[in-house]
Structure 1
Amino acid sequence: MTSAPPADARGRTRRSRGDSRRGDSVFFNLSRGSGILLLVIMAAIAGFLAYRSFLALGKNEGNFLTTFEWAPDAAKPVFGIAVLTFGTLVSALIAMVIAVPVSVGIALFISHYAPRRIAQPFAYLVDLLAAVPSIVYGLWGVLFLVPHMDGLTSWMDEYLGWTYVFDQSSSGVPARNLFTVGILLAIMVLPIITAVTREVFRQVPRMHEEAALALGATRWEMIRTSVLPFGRPGIISASMLGLGRALGETIAVATVLSTNSQLSLHLLDPGGGTFAQNIALKFNEAQPLGRDALMASGLVLFVITLLVNGAARMIIARRKEYSGAAA
């Protein structure tokens, strides 16, 4: 028979359990309050943008979705987002097509190929690129990237011009176009995608990798069968983070891109525009109606961002079986 613990010990145990439960309750309420606060802030932003958009759209003389012109302060206000929508989506798509494969390759090199003495400095260097201000990227783009794009655009016009998309109808002008902007955005989002993807690859269970190697798989076969399936949800999440920055980038795009109200499928021709760039360039000089119109375009960008992130969450939810760490 074991003797019962002393009364003071039982009391200390009860107090300890009570403190732990109170701590759990406080932490739970703080976490729930933080989540509710985030939803309230998002709803407040959406409500403010919707209200200002309603004021502007009621005075618009054109179709907001299909009009190319942006003149909300004219005698007859006319403004539309056709050019802005095209420029925003196309430049972001170009950036993602370039950045995602390169980022995955860099992440694999750092996590599975490079020796530790090389991987660590290389990882720090890639992370450091994320801290470079947007204006620095913009200045580098307009002073270095644009002048050196002539050879590439000429080559693409000669050999890929048959696609119409890469047909350069106006030669001899600086390459301040959506294709150049897409390359610049790819460089800017590359550190974000690489950093997240690298950390996901490092979480691959060691047993999965060793089992593949023990069965005679080469290093690439091990990566293809163990690492990439495990990291697929992480790659998608990292890509969506990068896409969010590409959609909302302002200063760098405004510095490089030559704006006009013409919508052209020739990506190598100067011109175009994005939502963020248009807001940044025209907000200070806009009249009250013009600012409301810019708010309306900001609401569209807000909705696009929500739809993109929602689609990413749906994709990840469907592919949890690949992660190897599903709950």
Structure 2
Amino acid sequence: MTITTARAGEPPPARRPIDDAPSRVDKVFRRVTTGGGITVLVLLVVIGFFLTLQSAPALRYAGFGFFSTVEFNTTADSPVFGVLGMLTGTITVALIAVFIAVPISVLAALFITDYAGTRLRGLLTGLVDLLAAIPSLLYGLWGFSFLAPQVEPVTAWLSRNFSWIPLFATKENATLTQSMFVAGLVVSLMVLPITTSIIREVFAQTPPGEKEAALALGGTRWGMVRSVVLPFGRGGIVGGAMLGLGRALGETIAVSLLLPQLPSIVTHVLESGGATISGFIAHNAGISGLGLNAMMAAGLVLFLFTLATNFSASIIISRSRSGAGVDA
């Protein structure tokens, strides 16, 4: 590198002016990205407005009882419908899926970022991303025709040995195939790619200097992971879990095949029964009249619930990328 200095008696070289004005390409790129962000917000507002408008007749008819009624029957002389049974089923399936998927996602992300070699890391990353490209219909068919019969002995064993836990208790001769547990197990496979990808990206941003310092002080690889990587990625784990929860809440085709779609408050997850909002809507897609408005109202509840979950996850993930988890 050559350093130019002024000779004695000569004026110093003129400083190069710094122009921070954006170029034409920068302006175009900024307008395109701003337009994309505004388009997404407009679509969300339009969807919310459409659901609100379409669900207004059902909400006026049912009143606040719509949120506290379990039964959903629009074909009777006096229609009765509510979202409580479907909402509890949706949350139950989503929580089962997250409880199964998140620990596996954390272990997979740790192996990819801190244990796997360069070639294996690229292969595993591609395979995890490939799982997200499998259509949910295939997951549902696989779960209905293959996984449910294979898991039935496991659910029977859980019922026999852990019936003292209310969730695992079952009635005598109860059907164990179309259950919340089986649906949550299948949905957990669909949640794995997004949670693993988010957690892996956050783990990969762990400051290399701190990881090397932990190893230089005589720590083992697991000690480095426990003291540096996991604290740094704590927000990413929570954010990935919440994004996975949002993904599980909106799953439609798979749960429509795996559950009988009978709205009820299921207290025993190993027994057949229950419904989710999205699955029930898909199962009754041909309904019309007030029933259609009631379906729109249920969809509005799911839309708002999922939107709040995803926004919360985005906030947590953005904070985790600052590295605040290391200082906590």
Tell whether the structures are fold-level matches, with TM greater than 0.5: yes
Residue number among 253, 256, 271 corresponding to 1:254 in the alignment: 256
Are the equivalent residues in 1 in contact too, given 2:74–2:81 (CA < 8 A)?
yes
Q: Counterparts of 2:264 and 2:89 in 1: how far apart (Å)? A: 11
- Residue aligning to 1:309: 310
Q: Note closer, same or farther for the CA distance 1:23–1:121 as it changes in structure 2 (3 Å cut).
A: closer
Unaligned regions of 5+ residues in structure 1, if any? none
Deviations 1:55-114 (A, max 9, x none): 112233892112222112432121111110110001100110110011010111122112
Letter in 2 for 1:35: G
Q: Counterparts of 1:49 and 1:72 in 2: how far apart (Å)? A: 19
Q: Note closer, same or farther for the CA distance 1:4–1:203 as it changes in structure 2 (3 Å cut).
A: closer
Q: Counterparts of 2:85 and 2:150 in 1: how far apart (Å)? A: 26
Letter in 1 for 2:54: R
2:288 is the counterpart of 1:287: yes
Residue number among 39, 60, 64 corresponding to 2:62 in the alignment: 60
Q: Counterparts of 2:83 and 2:20 in 1: how far apart (Å)? A: 60
- Residue aligning to 2:198: 196
Are the equivalent residues in 2 in contact too, given 1:111–1:202 (CA < 8 A)?
yes
- Residue aligning to 1:243: 245
Q: Which region of structure 1 is more displaced relative to structure 2, 162-171 or 274-283?
A: 162-171
SS in 1 for 2:168: coil
Give the drift of 1:21.
Answer: 4.6
Letter in 1 for 2:106: V
Q: Give RMSD over aligned pairs.
A: 2.7
Q: Counterparts of 2:284 and 2:116 in 1: how far apart (Å)? A: 47
Q: Note closer, same or farther for the CA distance 1:17–1:178 as it changes in structure 2 (3 Å cut).
A: closer
Q: Counterparts of 1:61 and 1:287 in 2: how far apart (Å)? A: 20
Q: Note closer, same or farther for the CA distance 1:61–1:242 as it changes in structure 2 (3 Å cut).
A: closer
Deviations 1:206-252 (A, max 9, x none): 11110001111111110111111222222233222221210011111
Q: Counterparts of 2:89 and 2:146 in 1: how far apart (Å)? A: 22
Count of matched residue positions in the alignment of Structure 1 and Structure 2: 317
Are the equivalent residues in 2 in contact too, given 1:96–1:243 (CA < 8 A)?
yes
Q: Note closer, same or farther for the CA distance 1:311–1:227 as it changes in structure 2 (3 Å cut).
A: same
Unaligned regions of 5+ residues in structure 2, if any? 1-9
Residue number among 22, 44, 47 corresponding to 1:45 in the alignment: 47
Q: Counterparts of 2:162 and 2:156 in 1: how far apart (Å)? A: 10
TM-score of the superposition, structure 2-length normalised?
A: 0.87
Q: Counterparts of 1:2 and 1:291 in 2: how far apart (Å)? A: 82
Are the equivalent residues in 2 in contact too, given 1:232–1:322 (CA < 8 A)?
no
SS in 2 for 1:301: helix
Residue number among 136, 139, 146 corresponding to 2:138 in the alignment: 136
TM-score of the superposition, structure 1-length normalised?
A: 0.87
Letter in 1 for 2:79: P
Q: Report % sequence identity.
A: 43
SS in 1 for 2:40: helix
Q: Counterparts of 2:54 and 2:249 in 1: how far apart (Å)? A: 22
| 1:64-213 superposed matches below 5 A | 64-171=66-173, 173-213=175-215
Deviations 1:257-304 (A, max 9, x none): 1222332201111110001101111122x0121111111000000111
Are the equivalent residues in 2 in contact too, given 1:161–1:168 (CA < 8 A)?
yes
Q: Note closer, same or farther for the CA distance 1:150–1:3 as it changes in structure 2 (3 Å cut).
A: closer
